[in-house]
Amino acid sequence: MNLLSTCCVIAHIESIPRRRKSHNALIMKIIDTNIPDVKIIEPKVFGDARGFFFESYNRRAFCDALGTSVEFVQDNHSKSGIGVLRGLHYQIRKPQAKLVRVVRGRVFDVAVDLRQSSPSFGQWAGAYLSAENYRQMWVPAGFAHGFVVLEDDTEFLYKASDYYAPEHERTIQWNDADLGIDWSLDDIEPLLSEKDRNGSPFASAEYYS
């Protein structure tokens, strides 16, 4: 074998991808909820004396890990005091999938399945999200969403897969008896907008097919 052939063989060997641990596993952990399509995402946080770093969103890793394809088109950011309860909101047309997290404070986050064809129709899943646990919740399209704020000056961020369309927005009563959501309020008196105080009962709400 001449020198040129040897170099070609070496180059070919070096071009073969090495097996390595999935990048998904390195940057996030997926945690199941009682509703299979709703997931808790726990990012890998790298910290030292200087502070911390983590990937809050990586589209390729996110879609691979959840086995879905989603493109977010709008980011929202809210700040609320303790006791503020927002929800339960959804868009009956142009439904939004959401990836939500807290960067300051703490909330209890809730998703309600409104898909009539789903085995979990009318069921809810909830999780505590906080600046301390770095967790995010994936709420697919077809769900109503809401949260209650458990600490003052809480800042809540979410990515949405479609644009806000107020003409298609619907609200379900946060304390609907049929849903029976345990908001973990303890002695907190919820503070509601007029829209949320006048939400529809679940029994008469508009659903997805």
Three-state secondary structure string covering 102-150: EEECEEEEEEEECECCCCCCCCEEEEEEECCCCCEEEECCCEEEEEEEC
Q: Please count the residues of the chain.
A: 209
The pLDDT value given to residue 48: 85
- The per-residue pLDDT for range 135-166, each reduced to its tens digit, is 999 999 999 999 999 999 999 999 999 999 99
- The per-residue pLDDT for range 62-91, each reduced to its tens digit, is 888 888 889 999 999 999 999 999 999 999
Pairwise pLDDT comparison (58 vs 136), residue with the higher score: 136
Is the domain 72-204 a CATH 2.60.120.10 member? yes
The pLDDT value given to residue 65: 85
The pLDDT value given to residue 13: 32
Average pLDDT over residues 184-191: 90
The pLDDT value given to residue 10: 35
The pLDDT value given to residue 102: 98
- State which amino acid sits at residue 190: P
d(CA 133, CA 104): 11
Identify which of 68, 178, 162 has the alpha carbon closest to the alpha carbon of residue 121: 178
**Assigned token pair, 147:** 């949260």
The pLDDT value given to residue 187: 86
Q: Which residue has the tokens 């439904």?
A: 95
d(CA 59, CA 71): 8
Average pLDDT over residues 24-44: 88
DSSP-based three-state secondary structure for 99: strand
User: Has residue 126 got a pLDDT over 50?
Assistant: yes
Average pLDDT over residues 33-43: 95
Question: What order do you get walking across the sheet with 28-32 strand by strand?
Answer: 28-32, 39-43, 136-139, 98-104, 154-160, 74-80
Pairwise pLDDT comparison (27 vs 111), residue with the higher score: 111
Report CA dihedral (181, 186, 188, 190) to the nearest 10 degrees.
10
User: Which residue numbers are catalytic?
Assistant: 89, 158
